[in-house]
Structure 1
């Protein structure tokens, strides 16, 4: 088995453990039970998990539980206190601190922002073809940050002009969802294990600037499809949805993150590839 195959096998086995956490984040996930799912010795599982995902098992569980809390806050019920208890926090204060660190706002402020949302501001933009170096995501959508981290590790000190996420399909429905972490480079790069070239055809996009944590990306894209697209005179075209990351959580607070969300479109009823 060559190194690339070995690395892929490690990621696939760890993905089984992550998928179990995502399916039931409130279950009592122990190192022994997760190690058994991934077919690793429990004595070494934690180090293997950390090396593959870039975070501890406890951090993954905490992040998935808080992501579940953001979905609950969309509704007017249950109470914030109940949502915190459902996420495994013993007090509202502990939940509020953890949620603020995760989403860049308190649970109450996050809920108010969602309820005051009147629809996305959108601009139309024609983009040229994109030629990227990319890593395909393996595993549930909740582990996409791990794939983005892996792309950065593979590129090392290579200068990057722009960072992207590329998504085909709906992450919450069906089995046709696929995602790549991609980078646009200004320099030629020799073949690198784990990286593959990825081209995106030129075309028209509906562009929305999202200011805030990445946890809001899913809701913002859903709003584009639900509130803007049906009355726009356009329809989706068969190109990936793009997430263009303008800064990085490594050196930027969650509330200051900026992400351009781009929905590929064409004039309603026009043949494929025709924008007007």
Structure 2
């Protein structure tokens, strides 16, 4: 029974992986049931029972997530091009679907995203993804590095984590104006609180860019600082880097007690190596750093 269940989960996992890696291709029932090696007459029911939403809706949400990220965080594509990439034949059809789902037109969302209805709309999608088998990290995935100090400019986010998207948008706009491109200036996130503190108002994190140049504020609350050097346990995560909590829990809860190491007095942080939507979500990568004594 255990082997059969693992095989079943592996087949469903293949479907989700295929969707992420082929968002621009045909993702109809015939194709995805073939990926799962299930009868197409039962596959859609099996998918619904496993993930809580239909395969058609899952694909729509995956494409809409990429579209909304491109609208909010990039300006290299027109709304029309984004609509086509999301699988819509015409911009007006995309606009109607977008407004129905998020309560804003694509153009309005690009200018000033309202993240609360966006998060609510993606609740079923996030729940479905959370049911995927999580990667099981091992000690072989962790390396210990001697890290050099890195001078940074950083923007604070304090308060409800649901509003991080607005801070990210401001941070991207500021670093573009400052000429601090991710290809030449590394991107970091430093966490000062848990992912889900008892009160959302207590959530605290910094968005950082590596630079040794003087920080020009340009109307934003940007500060100068430093990520200190020293020994760090490093765990690389590839794929959905929106949620690094499973990797962080592995480092703190499993790896650290068994390693005999002690944590240093600096928060856990990550370096964003490649960012969605600049790369497909399954190619996004981040190194998670746990500072050690």
CA distance in 2, matches of 1:217, 1:134: 20
| SS of the residue 2:245 aligns to | helix
> 1:249 Cα shift?
0.8
| 2:136 aligns with one of 111, 117, 125 | 117
Q: For residues 140 and 53 of structure 1, do their structure 2 counterparts lie closer, same or farther at Cα, with a shift above 3 Å needed? A: farther
Q: Distance in 2 between matches of 1:68 and 1:140?
A: 20
2:217 and 2:144 map into 1 onto residues whose CA distance is 35
Matched, 1:219 2:246: yes
Q: Pick from 133, 136, 149 the counterpart of residue 153 of structure 2.
A: 133
Local SS of the residue matching 2:153: strand
CA distance in 2, matches of 1:234, 1:53: 45
Of the candidates 160, 163, 177, which is equivalent to residue 187 of structure 2?
A: 163
Which position in structure 2 is the counterpart of 1:17? none
Match for residue 191 of structure 1 among 192, 208, 217? 217
User: Which residue number in structure 2 is paired with residue 67 of structure 1?
Assistant: 126
SS at match of 1:164: strand
Q: Specify which structure has the higher proportion of helix.
A: 2
Q: Are 1:242 and 2:261 counterparts?
A: no
Deviates more, 1:226-235 or 1:185-194: 185-194
Q: Which residue of 1 aligns with 2:173?
A: 153
Query: Matches of 1:144 and 1:68 in 2, distance apart?
Result: 19
Q: What stretches of structure 1 of length at least 5 have no aligned partner? A: 1-44, 74-109, 267-276
Q: Distance in 2 between matches of 1:64 and 1:198?
A: 35
Q: CA RMSD of the aligned region, Å? A: 2.9
1:179 matched to 2:199? The reply is no
What residue is the counterpart of 1:9 in the other structure?
none
Gaps of 5+ in 2: 1-102
Q: Distance in 1 between matches of 2:163 and 2:129?
A: 17
User: Contact (CA 8 Å) 1:159, 1:187: kept in 2 or not?
Assistant: no
After TM superposition, give the deviation of residue 254 of structure 1 in Å: 0.7
TM-score after normalising by structure 2: 0.54
TM-score (structure 1 length as normaliser):
0.57
Could you tell me how far apart the structure 1 residues matched to 2:197 and 2:284 are?
27
Point out 4+ residue stretches in structure 1 off by more than 4 angstroms: 49-53, 68-71, 174-177
Shift, 1:50, TM fit:
4.2
CA apart distance, 1:252:
0.7
Q: State the SS of the aligned residue for 1:137.
A: strand
Aligned residues of 2:271 and 2:288 also touching (Cα < 8 A): yes
Q: Does structure 1 retain, via aligned residues, the 8 Å contact 2:137–2:250?
A: no
Cα offsets for 1:93-112 (capped at 9, x unmatched): xxxxxxxxxxxxxxxxx32x
SS in structure 2 of the partner of residue 239 of structure 1: coil
Count of residues in Structure 1 that have an aligned counterpart in Structure 2: 182
Q: What CA distance in whole angstroms lies between the structure 2 residues aligned with 1:138 and 1:69?
A: 29
Conserved in 1, the CA contact under 8 Å of 2:115 and 2:163? no
Given the superposition, is the C-alpha separation of residues 238 and 145 from structure 1 closer, same or farther in structure 2, using an over 3 Å criterion?
farther
